[in-house]
Structure 1
Amino acid sequence: MATLQASGHSSSTLKEWEFDVFISFRGPETRYGFTGYLHKALCERGIRTFMDLEDLISGNKIQQTFARAIESSRIAIVVFSEHYADTSFLLRELAKLLECSQRFGQFVLPIFYYVDPGEVRHQRGSFEKAMAVHEERFKDKAPIWRAALRDAANLSGLHYKGDEFEYEFIEKITKQVLAILKEDTLPAVADYPVRPESQVQASFDSSSSFSVSRQYQYHVFLSFRGCDTRFRFTGSLFKALRDNKIHTFMDDVGLHRGNDISRTLIEAIKGSRIAIIVFSKNYADSTYCLDELVKILECHESDDQFVLPVFYEVDTNDVRRQTGSYGEAMAKHEEKFKDDKSKVQKWKHALHEAANFTGFCFKGKKYEHEFIAKIVGVVSKEIKRVALPVADYPVGLESQVSKVKSLIFSDGYDGVHMVGIHGNGGSGKTTIAHAIYHLIANSFESICFLENVRENSYKHGLVHLQNILLSNIFERKNLKSTSIEQGISTIRHWLQQKKILLILDDVDKIEQLQALAGKPDWFGRGTRVIITTRDRHLLVCHGIERIYELENSNSQSNIIASTRKDNGEQVGEKITSEQVNGSLEPLVLEDTNLDRSKQLSVIQAESNAQVIGQLNESQAETCHTHSLERIENANITLKVKEELEVKDLSLCAELASLEEKKRELEEQIRALKAEISDFTAERHLLSGKELYSSLMMEKC
């Protein structure tokens, strides 16, 4: 069957595929764990994947929906688990996959999940038992199914034996899928599992307000029983935290040496803001885990460390009251440590206390990746809650942030909505956008904050911004376009199934919106697009109905931040344009002796320069240069400020007058053209009459 893959490849490029991948799997065994993670990983890479969302209903034929999905998928991934062959539905599905591979050229990729390929190929073990049952019931079909199992197991695939992290194995599958798609006619995609740190845009790192260097060495410390969950659940949790830029400590296999908890682990626990404790069946068997738990609770008492218990396929009462496997473990410890009963008592007390914290309980029958996403969401909020106090907002913006958030979710969370934030330059639009970003980011699959759209589109072009958007959402560097039209097509193709938060900051041209967020149907359900701009008409033209008008957009209170005490003295603070476009941290003026009137003059001059930027290029450049020269003058006075305001108004009036004259001239030109058109028509009519009269005279 080696020729099965190659023989169909050339024909595959001639067919348009509705899906990139079809996943065939045994639901009760892998749906909520391995296959659920695989489906999530493929979708996050923008790979259109068909996976049935409910358990299959037995019947004599494959449902029409599945048959159509199989025929229209470029790649078929078959997850062979221990009891895959127990289901006749799956065997029919497998035969259909191999049939379509021969007819249409689909690529079949077998995954042997805790199953030896030889058992599938030769139908041994659980596969032999299953086929024996089927031969009794389906005498005609059984030989076809045996051949399908043999042929599929002869194809090149991947084998998972449980000796590596599941998420790393899933990344291997994803790379293989991407490599296959890259050879096809679909857009070229290269694997890029980690978000590029040098990306020139406001990604999670640059806009996030927390920093591991401020107080803690790590955001999260993971306490878990290695042999229970290291390579599966805890490994996937670690990856999810890391992917969300949450700095997490997870011990290496060799750290537990000797009789006592290592110094490395103690320092890691002390240096972590949050401790996640994964209580699994055999957690209490390990004295190292119990020592970790005691130390975590000590840090909770002394440093207010946040403790988050996760009960993974364990009843909370077994942990709290030491019953079941926890009771058995503690009985063994009491026997072993007869001479140190206080140690065992500490462990029992720690288990009881930890189980009383609010946490998460996983008992199966749900997708692990969705369960992990909830944990990551809580962790992210806790980190941001600590790092971004409301007091750091500029004065007067806190209530406006709340109003904008209400507008964003005014009619629920479904649908795709675009929201505009309109205000003058320096009124706090970007600051509000940053605050909204921190408040709601955890509710979305992917996030992109494109700052300074006006400036960056002029400097680098719209294609550059389109590529930043794509690479930020999918974390890949080669999903790029070379023209605006191609970029629009690529964005629509890849983002239609994703729930994203997209913030476009400082937009000033309709073309920018058309290139980056043309219509709501570009995005998946639940997406929110937030646009900040000085031009309200631009929002209206783009069909945006939800528009928030910034209150007191000219008020100095939106620019001057609240003062704070530093060493017993009040120090003035100012939000600069650089600060608004970056961090929300307060920036202290270097020259604290600058008097109040000079501060106000500088701020007003900057605001005027932003207003003048709306004039034509030559006039704006003249005014902006004039304003900067005045700002640089250390002796600027209120009188100069007033003169500048007058000059600005004069220029605005002059521009308005020119625009009016331009409209009058255009109207005169249209009138002259109409007269010329009428005159020409009359001339043609007269010429025709004269020619007719001349002919008639000759005839006579």
Structure 2
Amino acid sequence: MAPGVFSSSFRDDFLVFISFRGFDVRYELIGFLYAALRRAGVRPLFDEDFRRGKEIWPEIERAIVGAKMSIIVLSENFANSEWCLDEVVLIMELHRAAGQIVIPVFFRLTKAVVEQQSGSFADPFAIYDAEKPEKANTFRAALSNAVEISDGDRHVAPAIRPAEKVVDDIVLNVLEKMNLESLDADYKGLVGIKPRMLQVQHLLDAPSDGICIVSIWGMGGMGKSKLSECVYGSCCGQFDGFCALSNYEGDQLRRELYGMRNRGYKKVLILLDGVNKVQQIEFLADLCDKVKFGAESRIIVSTRNRQVFKGVGCEDFEVRTYEVPPLTSPEAHDLLRLVAFGGNSPSIDFDAVVEGVIKYAGGNPGALIELGKFLSTKPDARLWESKLKKLTRFPLPGVNSDLMTSFDELDSEERTIFLHVAFNFKRRGKEAVIAVLDACDLDAINGITSLVDRSLVLVDRYDRLSLHALHEAMATEIVRKDPTWTIENLR
């Protein structure tokens, strides 16, 4: 079966699927392995997390496809389970077609038994050969591939070796293959991520009387999703259960939350990435009211829109908002140097134009990355200067499409107010602008509040309105491309 036909609801870079024969290893090995992986910040998942039956096989397929890695624990009675062998077939197909990381473990048996289907594997394969010869050959090929990719004798565990030692070695190998030296790994290439992670973790750790939501909020391109994922990955091991969903449907969230409740989890961590509708938080509030997680549970929500927390039932949560700050000037220089110059310092010819690019991006890492990639193909500083002059009128498509998501979510009146602010009211006092727009029969106070909550309009300490340079360029692009908007009409 082709892995491409499956779509995963799991969005966890630290998800590991474990295929094993419960009869052999559930108590002697898997319990230790499950706990050790969780302590290491890795989410272990296996088919026993689902209710048995043919109807749950699609869920298991999605779990395997969504996993960063699979561990196959081959044991004495493994071949007696056609279900386990089906898992191995899918895992090895994903390894071949999609590069999924696989760690085979040989527990209390030799590689030869698996590869040759001898010993305890002989009788079940005799039955498969007689009843399902084609499937038997598929099983053989998958097992042979598993033996072939195994790491020497590293995970061959004879009876004399304590299970705890086997587990320690497996967990170390998992972290090595995931390039996770520890939860304090150096997040290479993620400029400025560590101090921001600490600030979010401080909000998560502060005590609360009930379930607390930490909202990671900011304009498009600020790195909300990556920051959320890094925080989630660094602390999920502290919770009984955890799940991460992006751009999710209600059924996915219901399935995850009820699954954790059915497993008896009370202290849970939930990551919801890309939440931009009030209805999503209302649905979450209703589910949390039903599943009754403990007060130490935490929910991380990344969003462009603070208004998602103003719906029915949202008052049941304590919401703590972390506004993602722009990169500092040194951080912006580091990121641009990394992307555009391969980590090297640019020649002095580029000094002025580098400053111009950084000023234009305004500390937005997504914009800096897109600009850096584009400009990395331009070896001459004069080409950079030429492109920079055009950016105010012709933004890079990758940058503009990301920002346009927030504009597209506005109603027609909010769009009108946004463009009025962009072309007529920058650096004007908010109350004065509201008075003018109210006189034009626009609901200015609610419109401007919505724009501020979506990071489309900024209010400085003097209560003056302004826009990020990227949003100014976006506004110019809107009126240039769409004949229904003209600067003359806006004025």
TM score, norm. by length of structure 2? 0.47
RCO (CA 8 Å, sep 6+): is it higher in 1 or 2?
A: 2
Greater Cα radius of gyration, structure 1 or 2: 1
